[in-house]
């Protein structure tokens, strides 16, 4: 599941909206919406995110958060370490090989080491 997919599922649950109902309103298939929620589809388009914001009638900070989460939700990330230090290349490669073995606590620890990105 991606950060965007997780938020999408939370919004649907909070509003009591089914996949089928939301998919019909947004002009996509329920299968696409499910795949998007589960991280089996690529990053959603800006247009899709805007339609989602309108569908849930969310504004300001929550809308910005949804856009930001969509930007962080590419399930297939490539890291270009050309020109960086050997340590950076080693870290990127080791992370790629071992990310599936990290538990939520370890992921939280690593995320805490990174500067927080704001929306936009």
Give per-residue pLDDT as tens, 23-37: 999 999 999 999 999
Residue 81: pLDDT band (50, 70, 90) is very high
Q: Which of 42, 28, 36 is closest to 7 using CA atoms? A: 36
Over residues 74-99, mean pLDDT: 92
Same domain, 49 and 107: no
How many domains in the chain? 2
pLDDT of the residue at 39: 85
Residue 119, pLDDT above cutoff 80: no
The residue length of the chain stands at 120
> Is residue 65 a contact partner of residue 73, using CB atoms and an 8 Å limit?
no
User: pTM here?
Assistant: 0.74
> Is residue 81 a contact partner of residue 87, using CB atoms and an 8 Å limit?
no
Per-residue pLDDT of 52-74, as tens digits, reads: 999 999 999 999 999 999 998 98
Same domain, 52 and 7: yes
Same domain, 60 and 32: yes
Distance between CA atoms of residues 10 and 20, nearest Å? 16
pLDDT of the residue at 85: 95
**CATH number assigned to the domain comprising residue 34:** 1.10.260.40
Domain range holding 88? 78-120
Same domain, 55 and 92: no
Kindly list the distances between the CA atom of residue 27 and the CA atoms of 5, 22, 30, 51, in Å, as whole numbers in the listed order: 17, 9, 10, 10
């Amino acid at each position: 599941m991606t950060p965007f997919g997780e938020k999408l599922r939370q919004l649907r649950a909070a509003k009591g909206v089914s996949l089928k109902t939301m998919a019909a309103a947004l002009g996509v298939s329920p299968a696409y919406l499910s795949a998007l929620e589960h991280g089996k589809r690529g990053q959603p388009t800006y247009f899709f995110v805007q339609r989602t914001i309108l569908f849930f009638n969310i504004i300001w900070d929550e809308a910005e958060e949804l856009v930001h989460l969509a930007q962080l939700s590419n399930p297939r990330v490539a890291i270009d370490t050309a020109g960086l230090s050997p340590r950076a290349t080693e870290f990127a490669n080791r992370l790629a090989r071992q990310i599936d073995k990290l538990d939520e606590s370890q992921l939280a620890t690593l995320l805490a080491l990174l500067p927080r990105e704001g929306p936009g």
